[in-house]
């Protein structure tokens, strides 16, 4: 942050991190960049241009600020903590800020640092293939892939990085991910978009593609944001999709939407200063009323 000098005042850059409390754990979703270069078409962050990479200190700082705000520097009476899990799923593509993300996660996972087990830290990528195996070697945390489509044609549209690293190459990098096993499965995130990627044919192809990979599939009901053309799949379609995958032997939990009303749910993050124009606030209120 630069301090005001004369008339030339530069605004501080902002990122968001989100704390998701659950009964048996508390997950902190952390950002790696201010904005994002990748423009995934279903993601609100993708509509904010990349301002800059965060430093390792700013990434670790998000965990420290959360612990401060939650008064979470010591075990509570029952021996638990509030922040038990970290997911690098906030704003930005972590593998496009590799060195800072690596240094930050090594500090967060080190007993002399923040001391959160690497098995409780998940790095999510939209598929920067050359850095996936490197992440396994140099960081050694759990891996999540933003897959969202099973055909290149559609994935090119939803996750444009797919044009550079198509599904086949991405899945090969997952097969090669060091340390993946049944106990350390790779999570595949799949946002459920009505009439776009939610058919049973998609579910069948998904199962086929993941054959031989230690995988679980996280189904994410789409979280709408002002201006998006996508809609969330109907609930019974999400259940059918999930059931097919489950019957094929994969864990397929449906992520409970949290924080939609304040644009803090998955795929909705954007810096507060950029987020809410008056028109967007109006659209958000209308969405909250129909949600």
Q: Is 92 in the site for ligand SF4 (CB under 6 A)?
A: yes
Q: Parallel, antiparallel, or unpaired: how do β-strands 52-53 and 33-34 relate?
A: antiparallel
Tell me the closest approach of the beta carbon of residue 222 to ligand SF4, in angstroms: 12
> Which of these ranges, 86-94, 214-222, 253-261, 273-281, lies near ligand SF4 under the rule CB under 6 A?
86-94
Q: Measured from the CB of residue 245, what is the shortest distance to ligand SF4 in angstroms?
A: 21
Other CB atoms within a 10 A radius of the CB of residue 164 amount to 11
CA 255 to chain centre: 12
Residue 16 a catalytic site member: yes
d(CA 149, CA 217): 12
- By beta-carbon proximity to ligand SF4, the closer residue of 36 and 219 is 36
Q: Among 17, 153, 266, 280, which one carries the catalytic annotation?
A: 266
CB of 231 vs ligand SF4, minimal distance in Å: 18
Q: Give long-range contacts, CB 8 A cutoff, 24+ apart: 61-64.
A: 62/15, 62/17, 62/28, 62/30, 62/31, 62/90, 63/28, 63/30, 63/108, 63/114, 63/116, 64/114
Q: Which is catalytic among the residues 16, 58, 93, 189?
A: 16
- Residues forming a β-bridge with 52: 34
Q: In b/e form, how buried is each residue of 251-274, taking b as 16+ CB within 10 angstroms?
A: ebebbebbbbeebbbbbbbbbeee
Positions in 32-51 near ligand SF4 (CB under 6 A): 36, 38-40, 43, 45-46
Complex with ligand SF4: residue 113 or 160, whichever CB lies closer: 160
Shortest Å distance, C-beta 289 to ligand SF4: 26
Site size for ligand SF4 (CB under 6 A):
12
By CB under 6 A, the residues from 110 to 149 that bind ligand SF4 are 126, 146
Q: Where are the alpha helices (DSSP H) in 139-234?
A: 152-158, 167-175, 200-209
* DSSP single-letter state for residue 257: P
Of the residues 16, 58, 72, 93, which one makes contact with ligand SF4 according to CB under 6 A = 93
Is the Cβ of residue 93 or residue 198 nearer to ligand SF4 in the bound state?
93
Closest to ligand SF4 by CB, 43 or 86: 43
Phi then psi for residue 65, to 5 deg, are -60, -40
Residue 266 known to be catalytic:
yes
Binding status of residue 223 toward ligand SF4 by CB under 6 A = no
Measured CA to CA, the distance from residue 281 to residue 112 in angstroms comes to 43
Tokens of 76: 């509570």
Contact residues toward ligand SF4 (CB under 6 A) are 36, 38-40, 43, 45-46, 91-93, 126, 146
Residues that are catalytic:
16, 266
């Amino acid at each position: 942050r630069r301090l005001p000098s004369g008339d030339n005042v530069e605004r501080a850059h902002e990122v968001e991190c989100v704390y998701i409390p659950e009964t048996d754990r508390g997950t902190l979703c952390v950002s790696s960049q201010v904005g994002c270069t990748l423009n995934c078409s279903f993601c609100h962050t993708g509509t904010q241009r990349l301002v800059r990479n965060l430093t390792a200190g700013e990434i670790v700082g998000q965990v420290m600020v959360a612990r401060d705000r939650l008064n979470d520097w010591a075990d509570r009476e029952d021996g638990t903590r509030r922040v038990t899990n970290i997911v690098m799923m906030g704003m930005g593509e972590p593998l496009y800020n590799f060195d800072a993300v690596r240094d930050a996660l090594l500090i967060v996972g080190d007993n002399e640092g923040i001391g959160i087990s690497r098995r409780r830290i998940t790095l999510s990528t939209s598929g920067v293939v050359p850095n996936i195996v490197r992440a396994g070697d140099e960081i050694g945390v759990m891996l999540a892939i933003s897959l969202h489509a099973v055909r290149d044609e559609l994935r090119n549209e939803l996750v444009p990085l797919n044009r550079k690293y198509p599904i086949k190459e991405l899945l090969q990098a997952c097969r090669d991910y060091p340390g993946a096993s049944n106990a350390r499965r790779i999570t595949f995130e799949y946002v459920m978009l009505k009439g776009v990627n939610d058919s049973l044919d998609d579910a069948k192809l998904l199962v086929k593609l993941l054959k031989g990979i230690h995988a679980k599939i996280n189904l994410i009901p789409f979280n709408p944001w002002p201006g998006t053309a996508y809609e969330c799949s109907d609930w019974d379609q999400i259940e059918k999709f999930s059931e097919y995958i489950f019957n094929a032997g994969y864990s397929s939990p449906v992520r409970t939407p949290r924080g939609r009303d304040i644009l803090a749910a998955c795929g909705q993050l954007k810096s507060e200063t950029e987020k809410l124009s008056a028109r967007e606030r109006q659209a958000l209120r209308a969405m909250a009323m129909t949600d």
